[in-house]
Amino acid sequence: DTAVSQTPKYLVTQMGNDKSIKCEQNLGHDTMYWYKQDSKKFLKIMFSYNNKELIINETVPNRFSPKSPDKAHLNLHINSLELGDSAVYFCASSQAEHEQFFGPGTRLTVL
Amino acid sequence: AQSVTQLGSHVSVSEGALVLLRCNYSSSVPPYLFWYVQYPNQGLQLLLKYTTGATLVKGINGFEAEFKKSETSFHLTKPSAHMSDAAEYFCAVTLTGGFKTIFGAGTRLFVKA
């Protein structure tokens, strides 16, 4: 009965590779998010989708492309991975502007 | 533009002592205010929130926070710290009707035995 799930939990890859992270929520929420948390725990929003429509894109490089096939899923694809992409990526969901429910995170390490 | 400032990146208290984590925000309109907690290697989870109504809000694990509009503050308190409270705490602001939440930089709480 997991609320927000992400796969994989860990991702180790070489520079230049392409990778995807998947997110699913079973809360019936209409809004989903991707956040990046750096090594100093700073949490920065990357994207937000409401009813499958992109509504926030926070100056993220074009190498990052979110896709929302339906309201319950929001995936993140990253092309040409760079060292600076190493971080923990969190998916979250909410009902409009109310509290967000976070997934367990995906720790991405780029070598 | 919205912003959130958490005073003190690290706070250390003794077990049984008062916990006070400070949060100030700036917003052009009344926001929704949240405190989240993050335990090691986990996602964030909601501690408490203020939307409208009573300005003193109670959350899980004995935490509470008071919304003070005149001071644009939403400080988090707990009367008696427990070892299990050691974690990272984030204050967050969302504009009503908006989809963007701004998080503070976080405060790491250490609890000494």
Question: Residue A27's pLDDT band (boundaries 50, 70, 90)?
Answer: very high
Tell me the chain B residues in contact with residue A40 when contact means C-beta distances shorter than 8 Å: 105
pLDDT for B33? 94
Question: Residue A78's pLDDT band (boundaries 50, 70, 90)?
Answer: very high
A104 with B42: Cβ contact below 8 A: yes
List pLDDT tens digits, range B56-81: 999 999 999 999 999 999 999 999 99
| Cβ neighbours around B13 below 10 Å, total | 18
Taking the CA atoms of residue A80, residue A83, residue B9 and residue A91 in that order, the dihedral angle to the nearest 10 degrees is 30
Minimal Cα distance from A50: which residue of B? B99
A97 with B97: Cβ contact below 8 A: yes
Average of pLDDT values for B37-41? 94
* Contact between residue B68 and residue B50 where contact means Cβ atoms under 8 Å apart: no
List pLDDT tens digits, range A43-56: 999 999 998 889 88
Task: For chain B, give the mean pLDDT.
Answer: 93
State the amino acid at position B85 in one-letter form: D
Distance CA A91, CA A22 (A): 9
> Is A34's pLDDT higher than 90?
yes
Distance CA A65, CA A3 (A): 23
Buried b (16+ CB within 10 A) or exposed e, A70-85: ebbbbbbebeebeeeb
Average of pLDDT values for B83-98? 90
State the amino acid at position B92 in one-letter form: A
Tell me the chain B residues in contact with residue A92 when contact means C-beta distances shorter than 8 Å: 43-44
Residue bearing tokens 């939990």: A9
> Is A57's pLDDT higher than 90?
no
Instruction: Identify the three-state secondary structure at position B82.
Output: coil
pLDDT for B78? 98
